[in-house]
């Protein structure tokens, strides 16, 4: 068993998953369990390592068996898409490895030369040839394995995991069920025993770092392999949770009717809890006085499709909430329910909308009422919300809920609600002026008053900067003896990022000192800045100061 999988199984959620597998064994029978454990053991104990280096105008590929299970070297994938067998490789005639022997025991090496760069190899168990894995070649080049194998692998699976979370993907075929785990981006090949065949997937992810919550998408899906190469991509995303403080808010969650051992997960904006079976009044931190709770099934008992309701609900600090699990016997994968597609108009500038769904999936052959949520900010980035256009209907509220009855008629088909577009109106910032609009460089500092008016209301933050460097030279007839300038800028910003007012310009220099002779020049540095919170966005005035430092310099 791999170290990653051991870590998963020794954690709390790993124990839950292990219990689910044991439950699956009881339901599927000892024969199914033997298939699973035999395949899983072989796959996890096949530990090939492949390295490549430049060699005599080509490339030398060496493969070693670092595990205890024997395997055969079956195929070598070259950069550009060519696939060769070990017998097609050139014998480098090295005494520490063999080209003819493709069956490798522990610490045995195979090696061969190739004219093109090897980037991946496929090895299969010597005990059960159906158990195969594709591993990348290290040492000389990093290659996109996904694009390399895309035309040669029957079913290519990729987990994109830039966060180094722990993930686990389980897939089911008529011949049995198998799994792959890891904590980095990884690609492997599934070689079905025949076609056509349906391969169903369950996927889930866990955070490896404290303070992060991770998800994998999709969690439930399937592919149909009909003899033509197909791909399935899973994507891991992680979000950092706010730091917990003693002033946290909590709710209490209960789960009922989980009699078959489905694995469920209930999340708030700052935390989540997972389990198997029923729980009563389990404490869950939330992000404030109110928060949104979401619930989903992350693992189904073998032969069953489960859902949990409600899939989403608004929560208030100190309250209790009950979620109900419902499972139906189904040899077919359920229909995932995805949030509706939402967009904004104009597409660039306004805050981006979000959407959600009250359930995560619907069992095959079943119908359920699903509530879809559409959320748009009231304002942001100088845009004001006007209305939603959803499914041909207009809604003036920035938060809209629509309930529909959906039916899962095709196994694994993704269901969703009507798409929506929120419309915004742009309101430009108001002007800011400065008084005076001049500067006297003979002074040590100058004080200015900033005035503004705008069409925006609310409380915002005023910020200003005044800066510049001016060089003053000895005056010659017909030539300017001043170089450089002093500029200013100021803004009034609302908490949502809207710039309620702004202004900028250059200060006119009204007075300055003159160098005593052509051998000297004067350098004046002007600087000033400030931030004032709690100002009125619609109108106001504030003062600011700029310091002036002048130095007599010689050439």
Range of the domain at 52: 48-144
Last residue of a domain, one of 426, 454, 486: 426
Is position 176 within any domain? Answer: yes
pLDDT score of 373: 92
pLDDT score of 210: 52
- How far CA 59 is from CA of 116, 149, 461, in Å, comes to 7, 20, 63
Is position 28 within any domain? Answer: no
Q: With 50 as the cut, is the pLDDT of residue 266 above it? A: yes
pLDDT score of 485: 95
Q: With 70 as the cut, is the pLDDT of residue 27 above it? A: no
pLDDT tens digit sequence for 534-554: 999 999 999 999 999 999 999
Q: With 50 as the cut, is the pLDDT of residue 145 above it? A: no
Question: pLDDT averaged over the chain?
Answer: 82
pLDDT category, 511, cuts 50, 70, 90? very high
Is position 197 within any domain? Answer: yes
In the three-class reduction of DSSP (H, G, I as helix; E, B as strand; rest coil), residue 381 is classed as: coil
DSSP β-bridge partners for residue 470: 484, 524
Angle at 430 between CA 426 and CA 431, to 5 degrees: 145
- How far CA 338 is from CA of 342, 360, 369, 370, 537, in Å, comes to 12, 7, 14, 11, 40
- Check whether residue 436 and residue 412 sit in a common domain: no
pLDDT score of 80: 66
* Residue 469 token pair: 């460097």
Q: Which residue has better confidence, 393 or 288? A: 393
pLDDT score of 503: 96
Is position 150 within any domain? Answer: no
Q: How many domains does the chain have?
A: 5
Poorest-pLDDT segment among 30-34, 219-223, 323-327, 501-505: 30-34
Residue 9 main-chain phi, psi, to 5 deg: -75, -20
Is position 149 within any domain? Answer: no
pLDDT score of 9: 39
Q: What is the dihedral of CA 307, 326, 25, 330, to 10 degrees?
A: -80
Nearest-angstrom CA–CA distance, 13 and 276 = 9
Q: What pTM, to 2 d.p., does this model score? A: 0.46
Is position 412 within any domain? Answer: yes
Per-residue pLDDT, averaged over 46-57, amounts to: 77
Q: With 60 as the cut, is the pLDDT of residue 151 above it? A: no
- Check whether residue 318 and residue 207 sit in a common domain: no
Share of the chain above pLDDT 70, in %: 85
Last residue of a domain, one of 240, 270, 295: 240
Is position 6 within any domain? Answer: no
Nearest-angstrom CA–CA distance, 378 and 507 = 38
pLDDT score of 22: 37
Task: Give the list of residues 6+ apart from residue 45 with CB closer than 8 angstroms, or none.
Answer: 1, 67, 68, 69
- Check whether residue 544 and residue 445 sit in a common domain: yes
Q: Which residue has better confidence, 280 or 188? A: 280
pLDDT tens digit sequence for 96-123: 777 788 889 888 889 999 888 888 888 8
pLDDT category, 245, cuts 50, 70, 90? very low
- Check whether residue 235 and residue 259 sit in a common domain: no
- Check whether residue 126 and residue 159 sit in a common domain: no
- Check whether residue 96 and residue 160 sit in a common domain: no
Per-residue pLDDT, averaged over 448-458, amounts to: 95
Per-residue pLDDT, averaged over 480-509, amounts to: 94
Nearest-angstrom CA–CA distance, 45 and 66 = 9
CATH of the domain at 108: 2.60.40
pLDDT score of 207: 64
Strand-pair category, 132-138 with 48-55: parallel
* Residue 214 token pair: 């991770």
pLDDT tens digit sequence for 407-438: 998 877 889 999 999 999 999 999 999 999 99
In the three-class reduction of DSSP (H, G, I as helix; E, B as strand; rest coil), residue 30 is classed as: helix
Nearest-angstrom CA–CA distance, 419 and 416 = 9
Per-residue b or e along 151-163, where b marks 16 or more CB atoms closer than 10 Å to that residue's CB: ebbbbbbbbbbeb
- Check whether residue 345 and residue 444 sit in a common domain: no
Length of the chain: 555
Q: With 50 as the cut, is the pLDDT of residue 192 above it? A: yes
């Amino acid at each position: 068993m791999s170290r990653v999988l051991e870590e998963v199984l020794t954690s709390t959620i790993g124990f839950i998953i292990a219990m689910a597998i044991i439950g699956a064994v009881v339901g599927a029978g000892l024969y199914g369990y033997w298939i699973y454990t035999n395949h899983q053991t072989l796959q996890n104990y096949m530990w090939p390592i492949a390295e490549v280096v430049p060699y005599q105008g080509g490339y030398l590929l060496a493969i070693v068996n670092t595990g205890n299970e024997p395997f055969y070297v079956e195929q070598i994938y070259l950069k550009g898409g060519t696939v060769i067998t070990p017998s097609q490789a050139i014998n480098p005639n090295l005494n520490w490895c063999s080209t003819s022997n493709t069956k490798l025991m522990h610490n045995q090496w195979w090696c061969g030369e190739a004219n093109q760069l090897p980037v991946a190899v496929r090895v299969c168990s010597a005990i059960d040839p159906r158990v195969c894995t594709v591993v990348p070649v290290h040492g000389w080049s990093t290659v996109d394995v996904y694009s390399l194998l895309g035309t040669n692998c029957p079913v290519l699976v990729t987990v994109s995991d830039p966060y180094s979370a722990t993930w686990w993907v389980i897939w089911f075929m008529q011949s049995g069920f198998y799994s792959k785990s890891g904590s980095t981006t990884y690609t492997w090949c599934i070689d079905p025993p025949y076609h056509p065949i349906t391969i169903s997937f369950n996927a889930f992810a866990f955070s490896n770092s404290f303070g992060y919550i991770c998800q994998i998408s999709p969690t439930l899906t399937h592919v149909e392999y009909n003899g033509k190469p197909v791909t399935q991509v899973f994507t891991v995303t992680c979000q950092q949770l706010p730091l917990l403080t003693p002033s946290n808010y909590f709710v209490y969650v209960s789960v009922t009717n989980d009699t078959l051992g489905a694995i469920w997960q209930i999340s708030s904006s700052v935390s989540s809890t997972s389990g198997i079976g029923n729980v009563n009044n389990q404490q869950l931190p939330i992000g404030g006085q109110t928060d949104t709770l979401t619930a989903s099934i992350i693992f189904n008992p073998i032969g069953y499709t489960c859902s949990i309701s409600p899939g989403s609900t608004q929560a208030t600090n100190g309250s209790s909430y009950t979620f109900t699990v419902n499972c139906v016997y189904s040899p077919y994968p359920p229909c995932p329910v995805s949030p509706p597609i939402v967009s904004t108009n104009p597409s660039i500038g306004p805050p981006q909308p979000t959407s959600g769904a009250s359930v995560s999936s619907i069992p095959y052959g079943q119908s359920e009422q699903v509530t879809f949520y559409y959320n748009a900010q009231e304002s942001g980035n100088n845009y004001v919300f006007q209305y939603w256009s959803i499914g041909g209907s207009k809604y003036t509220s920035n938060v809209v809920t629509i309930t529909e009855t959906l039916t899962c008629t095709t196994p694994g088909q993704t269901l969703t609600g009507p798409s929506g577009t929120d419309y915004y109106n742009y309101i430009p910032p108001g002007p800011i002026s400065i008084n005076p609009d001049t500067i006297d460089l003979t002074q040590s500092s100058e004080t200015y008053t900033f005035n503004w008016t705008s069409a925006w209301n609310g409380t915002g933050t005023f910020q200003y900067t005044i800066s510049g460097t001016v060089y003053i030279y000895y005056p010659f007839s017909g030539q300017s003896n001043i170089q450089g300038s002093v500029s200013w800028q100021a803004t009034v910003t609302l908490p949502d990022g809207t710039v309620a007012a702004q202004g900028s310009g250059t200060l006119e220099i009204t007075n300055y000192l003159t160098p005593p002779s052509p051998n000297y020049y004067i350098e004046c540095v002007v600087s000033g800045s400030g931030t004032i919170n709690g100002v009125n966005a619609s109108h106001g005035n504030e003062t600011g100061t700029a310091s002036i430092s002048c130095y007599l310099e010689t050439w």
